[in-house]
Amino acid sequence: MSRYQEKITDQSIWLTAAPSGLSLSMPFFVTESGHFFAEKGYLVRRAEHDSFLLLYTLGGCGAVQSGTASLQLSEGSAVFVDCHSFHEYYALSECWEFLWIHIKGNAADVFFHTLYPHDIFAVSVRETAVLKQHIDTLQEQMRHNDITSCITGSAVIHEILNVLIRSSLVQEQEKKSRQQSDAVGHVIAFIRSHYSEPVTIDDMLEDIPVSRYHFIRSFKRITGSTPYHYLLSYRITMAKTLLRSTEQSVAEIAENCGFSDTSNFITHFRKYTGQSPLQYRKYFSG
């Protein structure tokens, strides 16, 4: 099953190659490549194709489906598609400008699974100028048919895929950082809502899908404190507010701020403020 609606403008470039001999023994070689300006309605749909496909968006936006994965390719993003199973890609904007390369070779599958150990995703390219230069060099090499162009072409494809892998690793690290930040924010909100109750680290992590060890490290890196000491500090902060603004007894404030007993509260209050609760109240009431 194949379907093509190659609605591209006249300024589009389409290069083909007929690899043979030395090219076929290289880790990578190219069968086709291009620089397309695709119009609305552009569509390529295939049940299979004997290659891997790199798509890199320069302007506008396109969509890609490969197997069960669906993604959008906005400006500066790329994807490496295994064309040996169903895939399709099409323009989402009025003009989708993109570079594309059909890649084969005995190392292509290895690099595909290095880049995508799980599902494919759009890679936000960090080294955009470097990637564009590599692709320009590769397309220039396609205009020749000699030993040098075979060797250079394989090496350049290697560098192109290295750029994608480096970018994907940075992207994954940033995603983890955002997830960690969201988890820390969730726990801070939990502490502020439940500080007056008996709270354990297990209570804080009930809805957080991460190990206790890694969460505590992330929490301390972001807040400068462990969750336990953040809870104590917040309890002391709320106790200071009650000491200044109410006539509640020290025992009542201790209970309202989540301390197990008055003695425990006084000990921690003195440790954090350098004063007893009554000394603190007297200072602000005098």
The DSSP secondary structure of 195-237, one letter per residue, reads TTS---HHHHTTT--S-HHHHHHHHHHHHSS-HHHHHHHHHHH
Q: Would you state the pLDDT for residue 1?
A: 46
Question: Model confidence over 22-77: pLDDT tens digits?
Answer: 888 899 999 999 999 999 999 999 999 999 999 999 999 999 999 889 999 999 99
Q: Would you state the pLDDT for residue 4?
A: 61
Mean pLDDT of the region 203-220: 85
The CATH number that applies at residue 79 is 2.60.120.280
Q: Tell whether 48 and 151 lie within a shared domain.
A: yes
CA 252 to CA 185: how far, in whole Å?
A: 29
Residue 97 lies in a domain: yes
Q: pLDDT confidence of 281, banded at 50, 70, 90?
A: very high
Q: Tell whether 24 and 159 lie within a shared domain.
A: yes
- Per the CB < 8 A criterion, the answer to whether 99 and 35 are in contact is yes
Q: Tell whether 65 and 162 lie within a shared domain.
A: yes
Question: Among 37-41, 78-82, 126-130, 177-181, which stretch is predicted with the lowest mean pLDDT?
Answer: 177-181
Among 173, 199, 214, the domain boundary falls at: 173
Q: Tell whether 169 and 236 lie within a shared domain.
A: no
Q: Would you state the pLDDT for residue 28?
A: 96
Q: Tell whether 113 and 40 lie within a shared domain.
A: yes
CA 40 to CA 62: how far, in whole Å?
A: 10
Among 109, 140, 173, the domain boundary falls at: 173
Q: pLDDT confidence of 18, banded at 50, 70, 90?
A: confident
Q: Tell whether 43 and 110 lie within a shared domain.
A: yes
Residue 248 lies in a domain: yes
Residue 219 lies in a domain: no
Residue 213 lies in a domain: no
Q: Tell whether 164 and 239 lie within a shared domain.
A: no
Residue 117 lies in a domain: yes
77-110 core/surface letters (b: 16 or more CB in 10 A; e: else): bbbbbbbeeebbbbbebebbbbbbbbbbbebbee
Please give the mean pLDDT across all residues of the chain: 92
Residue 158 lies in a domain: yes
Mean pLDDT of the region 245-259: 95
In the chain, the number of structural domains is 2
pTM greater than 0.75: no
Q: Write the DSSP symbol of residue 110.
A: H
Q: pLDDT confidence of 2, banded at 50, 70, 90?
A: low
CA 107 to CA 159: how far, in whole Å?
A: 13
The CATH number that applies at residue 253 is 1.10.10.60
Range of the domain at 253: 228-285
Q: pLDDT confidence of 209, banded at 50, 70, 90?
A: confident
Residue 217 lies in a domain: no
Residue 192 lies in a domain: no
